[in-house]
Amino acid sequence: METPGTSVPRVALVEDDPTVRVAVERYLGANGYLVDAFGDGVSAQRAVRADPPDVLIVDRMLPGISGDELARDARARSAVPIIMLTALGEVEQRIAGLENGADDYLVKPFALRELLLRVDALLRRSRAAAAPTREIVRGAFRLDPARRRVHVRGDEVLLAAREYELLAYLVQHDGEVLSRDDILREVWGWSFGEGSTVTVHVRRLREKIERDPRRPAHLLTEWGAGYRFSADGSGA
């Protein structure tokens, strides 16, 4: 939602079902969002490339360009928060959506109120993460919250919005064991949810920050408990 001193937040909605598209466009519009609605992935891709929105909502099953391809393209070009809509409710399908760059997902049919709350949460966290604060330095990791930039061992690493928020949370709790429920609550703002959501994002983060993602030195799994971040890479 809009806050004092900020512009009206823009949402790009990509949904080929006209009934769902119109309902979501009207509901978000009535709740303070400026919505650009698209019925196919090709036109949406052109628009998102030209002018990235504040939040991207994309149906996974689209004509022309799939939702997965659109999400991957948007993620490669910006840190725009992405919500994936899908009629495929199996855990493997939801994981696939997250692996293609989505920050969140909703299984159809969904309540419009729930979608609004998830858009609100993504936008709020994106803006909070972008607010100027002091640089965070832990071992080989340097985070610049003002620019949402990350350097690991001196090299810049491009992270998606949720990956950045996850890393920032882990870095600031260096050495602490954090459960999946802790992470879902603090990073996603969920009081409950699928543990696989965290697992997928941890795997994606490891691929970007670890020298060998198969043998992580920094983002460690504490079996039966959760995850622990080790800035110095000692694993101890």
Residues 138-193 have pLDDT tens digits of 989 999 887 788 999 999 999 888 899 899 999 989 999 999 888 988 888 765 56
Domain ranges of the chain: 10-130, 136-229
Q: Which CATH architecture has domain 10-130?
A: 3-Layer(aba) Sandwich (3.40)
Omega within 30 of 0 (cis) for the link into 109: yes
Q: Where are the alpha helices (DSSP H) in the chain?
A: 18-30, 41-50, 67-77, 91-99, 112-130, 161-171, 180-183, 195-209
* pLDDT tens digits along 9-63: 999 999 999 999 999 999 999 999 999 999 999 999 999 999 999 999 999 889 8
**In this predicted structure, what is the pLDDT of residue 130?**
56
Could you tell me the fold of the domain covering 136-229?
Arc Repressor Mutant, subunit A (1.10.10)
* pLDDT tens digits along 206-225: 999 999 999 999 999 999 89
What's the predicted TM-score (pTM) here?
0.61
Residue scoring higher pLDDT (133 or 207): 207
